[in-house]
Amino acid sequence: MILDQDNMDRIKRLLKSRPKGLTISDISQILKLNRNSAAKYLEILLITGQVEMKPFGNAKVYYLSQRVPISSMLKFATELIMVIDTDNQITELNDNFLKFYSVEREDLLQKRISELNIPPFDTPEMESLLLDVQRLEEPTKEIRFDFKGQAYYFRFKIIPTVFEDGGCGFTFIIEDNTREKLIEERLRINEERIRAIVNTQTEMINRFRPDLSISFINSAGAKFMQLEEDLILGRNLLDFVVPKDRERVFTLMKSMNKEHPVQSIENRVILPDGQIRWVEWTNHAVFDEEGDIIEYQGVGRDITRQKKAKEDLLIRDKAIADSPNGIVIGDLDGIVTYVNRAFLQIFGFDDESEVLDHPIHELSRLKEATRDRMREALGILKDGGTLVEMHRSSMAAGEERDLIVSASMIRDEHGNPLCLMASISDITENLRAEREIKILDAAIASSNNGIAVIDPREDRFLYTNKAFLGMNGVEEHADNIGKDISSLFSHVNSFSPPVEEIKTRIREEGSYAGEIRFTLPGGDVRILQFTANNVLDDEKNVVCVVVSTIDMTEQKMLEKAVRSTFEKLQESIEFFSDPTFIIDRNRKVVAWNHALEVLTGIRKEDVLGKDTFSSAFSGILEFGPVLLDLLDLPPHELATRYPDVRRFGDSVYLETFAQGLNDGKGAYIWSKASLLTDREGNRIGAIESIRDMSQWKRARESMRHYGESELADSPELR
């Protein structure tokens, strides 16, 4: 018998070292036991509950039993414990059970559970639990029942039990969860109350984990985010923050610690519809016992409207501060409380300290007349009136400024007076500019040149002066403003070049200059010098086209007459034996006779219409400039620079020897240059003739020698 007990102890030690279990073959082989003996010992241990067996296919695997002896469990357990056999008869109860129900052990032992007249063993839930014992390995169930006028919550766990004699049964381990359940219920109720309170708040309330994933959001927050709650929970807080604000929000959250557990921030959030809103958040960090953050709690409110109002206020403040109009605000007694820069500049103050907290009508830079007017205005405003007037103000430095003053009393929504405010516009420069514009308009209107301004986008006239209309044969009183360009010339014939060609040139090149010709209804031909230029703004956009015209009709007719005269002169001088040429008032050659062609070797076709005639005489006349170039020299300068040249009236004369003529033999030259004028004495050109005096000089010299010889040979003459 001792040997059997030793072998069973060896088997238990072996199974303890092999928690995964062993088969009969494994045990007999390891312990060197007969297989039948090993099977016998295992059967004894199994019956006594010291080992357990689980079949795996055809094999049986044995484990060391984990069951605690009932006597030990009853003694040390804090739960209520009841043990029953397979017939549901009570075999054991612990003291906690007896104490709770206030019964004696002898009164309950050997009774069936169904015979117990104590809750919850007499309830349908217990019947259901006993049925579960047959099909579940270790059924558990929580049962609520009333006992002695109080509600209890017991958690039943039933585990199969093997008694020391090998018999089987079940142990009821009954845990009293009443206190925890009541606490849990109170917590649930409180949580529901808090949730109801939180969800009725207009502010957004949320909770999020250290990784910033959202764990809770109230109804106001979900409504604001335009999403269902389940579409928000679990998402990162930064997903809803405008990208530019994310780093700032992240940095703030990570800066929170026990010394700074609360932080506030304003940031923008982006909603599903793309709308961006401003939210002010106050975040609280929640810490565990080690000081680590376990959760953040945030309360937020939509401040978009306030933010917009603040921005609008800043914009208005900036607009007032930067307004070109002077703004002054005072209390109801006229004491200045605010002025902008424009006010200081208009009245010549260097700093606002010279104005603030001073009565408006006693400012030092204002002359007495201006102060008196301000006193009067203050009285008008105090009586509830308003003031709009143009006023000439005298500054202390003696400068006169033209001002438009608009002043009134500012009231709140209930009509109560708040302050006095005035806006002052300095129109001094505007009035000066208006006067200058009027002068300029008068000058343009009375100009002999035609002036017109055209809108290039619609090709319509914006302005035409009297001269422009007259040159184009339009009545002075005709209304041409807004009319199409082509309509102005609709009454004329043979317009050249075409209007469209002129418009194209202006559009492509930015300007046009040239003559235009047309025939008026009466048959008169009109010739105009026409100039047009685009006027550009700072961005190089065309603002308008300015047109200037000069009536060249009479001048052209005069030029035609002069040309006719010159042509006749050309025909006349062609038969002159003396080399002769004529220039017009522009120093262009209009006549060059054959004799001059022979003298200079230059054909008339090469010089007519040009002003380079002086070069034709280089190498021929050594005396210097052509006489025509000397006609305008003052007498003293002519005498100083060219002593051989003589002036008589409007003509100059020269007699000299020109070595370059006659193939280098030279010749005596006599030249004369004279001005040509019209009937009114206006210069229209000049003429110069050159005569070879060599033969005359030789004849005269021969006569002089002959005379001298006759005188020598005749005593009578001597």
pLDDT tens digit string along 282-291? 999 999 888 8
- Token pair recorded at residue 124: 């349908």
Closest of 218, 234, 221 to residue 279, by C-alpha: 221
In the prediction, which pLDDT does 409 show? 85
In the prediction, which pLDDT does 360 show? 80
pLDDT tens digit string along 636-653? 888 888 888 888 888 888
In the prediction, which pLDDT does 569 show? 67
Residue percentage of the chain with pLDDT more than 70: 88
* Per-residue DSSP letter, 582: E
Angstrom CA distances, 608 to 570, 586, 718, stand at 11, 13, 58
Closest of 697, 672, 689 to residue 599, by C-alpha: 689
Q: CA 353 to CA 537: how far, in whole Å?
A: 41
Closest of 711, 522, 684, 505 to residue 590, by C-alpha: 684
Please give the average per-residue pLDDT across 467-475, as a whole number. Answer: 77
In the prediction, which pLDDT does 79 show? 86
In the prediction, which pLDDT does 276 show? 92
User: Which helix (DSSP H) or strand (DSSP E) does residue 310 occupy?
Assistant: helix 304-322
Q: CA 125 to CA 120: how far, in whole Å?
A: 8
Residue scoring higher pLDDT (482 or 669): 669
Closest of 571, 590, 467 to residue 526, by C-alpha: 467
Q: Are residues 232 and 224 in contact, defined by beta-carbon separation less than 8 angstroms?
A: no
Q: Which pLDDT band holds residue 172 (cuts at 50, 70, 90)?
A: confident
Q: CA 619 to CA 685: how far, in whole Å?
A: 25
The total number of residues shown for the chain amounts to 718
Q: Which pLDDT band holds residue 1 (cuts at 50, 70, 90)?
A: very low
In the prediction, which pLDDT does 13 show? 87
Q: State the maximum Cα–Cα separation within the chain, in Å, rounded to a whole number.
A: 215
pLDDT > 60? residue 2: no
Beta-carbon count within 10 A of 171 CB: 21
pLDDT > 50? residue 717: no
In the prediction, which pLDDT does 262 show? 92
Span of 147-151, 191-195, 243-247, 494-498 with lowest mean pLDDT: 191-195
pLDDT tens digit string along 277-333? 999 999 999 998 888 999 999 999 999 898 888 887 777 778 777 888 888 888 888
In the prediction, which pLDDT does 228 show? 92
In the prediction, which pLDDT does 148 show? 87
Closest of 96, 60, 64, 62 to residue 78, by C-alpha: 96
Q: CA 591 to CA 685: how far, in whole Å?
A: 11
pLDDT tens digit string along 327-353? 888 888 888 888 888 888 888 888 888
With residues binned 3-state (H G I as helix, E B as strand, rest as coil), the percentages for the chain, rounded to 5, are: 40, 30, 30
Please give the average per-residue pLDDT across 434-455, as a whole number. Answer: 78
Q: Which pLDDT band holds residue 448 (cuts at 50, 70, 90)?
A: confident
In the prediction, which pLDDT does 236 show? 93
Q: Are residues 172 and 78 in contact, defined by beta-carbon separation less than 8 angstroms?
A: no
Q: Which amino acid is at 605?
A: E
Angstrom CA distances, 25 to 64, 116, 395, 639, 642, stand at 16, 48, 125, 157, 155
Q: Are residues 158 and 129 in contact, defined by beta-carbon separation less than 8 angstroms?
A: yes
In the prediction, which pLDDT does 211 show? 93
In the prediction, which pLDDT does 400 show? 78
Beta-carbon count within 10 A of 633 CB: 17
Residue scoring higher pLDDT (382 or 150): 150
In the prediction, which pLDDT does 250 show? 93
Q: Are residues 162 and 174 in contact, defined by beta-carbon separation less than 8 angstroms?
A: no
pLDDT tens digit string along 559-612? 777 677 667 766 777 777 788 888 888 888 888 888 888 887 888 888 888 888
What is the Cα 647 distance to its own chain's centre? 79
Q: Which domains does the chain have, with CATH numbers?
A: 12-64 (1.10.10.10), 70-182 (3.30.450.20), 201-308 (3.30.450.20), 325-431 (3.30.450.20), 447-556 (3.30.450.20), 576-701 (3.30.450.20)
In the prediction, which pLDDT does 212 show? 93
Closest of 677, 624, 669 to residue 650, by C-alpha: 677
Residue scoring higher pLDDT (140 or 191): 140
Please give the average per-residue pLDDT across 405-422, as a whole number. Answer: 84
Q: To the nearest whole number, what is the mean pLDDT of the chain? A: 82
Span of 413-417, 453-457, 479-483 with lowest mean pLDDT: 479-483
pLDDT tens digit string along 523-561? 788 888 889 899 888 888 888 889 888 888 877 777 777
pLDDT tens digit string along 363-411? 766 777 777 888 888 888 877 778 888 877 766 566 777 888 888 888 8
Q: CA 522 to CA 460: how far, in whole Å?
A: 26
Residue scoring higher pLDDT (43 or 244): 244
Residue scoring higher pLDDT (230 or 698): 230
Q: Are residues 596 and 579 in contact, defined by beta-carbon separation less than 8 angstroms?
A: yes
Q: Which pLDDT band holds residue 210 (cuts at 50, 70, 90)?
A: very high
pLDDT tens digit string along 46-88? 777 778 888 888 888 888 876 655 555 566 678 888 888 888 8
- Token pair recorded at residue 676: 């040509």
How wide is the angle at C-alpha 627 spanned by C-alphas 622 and 628, nearest 5°? 140
- Whole-structure pTM value: 0.39
Q: Are residues 573 and 580 in contact, defined by beta-carbon separation less than 8 angstroms?
A: yes
- Residue 272, phi then psi, degrees to nearest 5: -55, -30
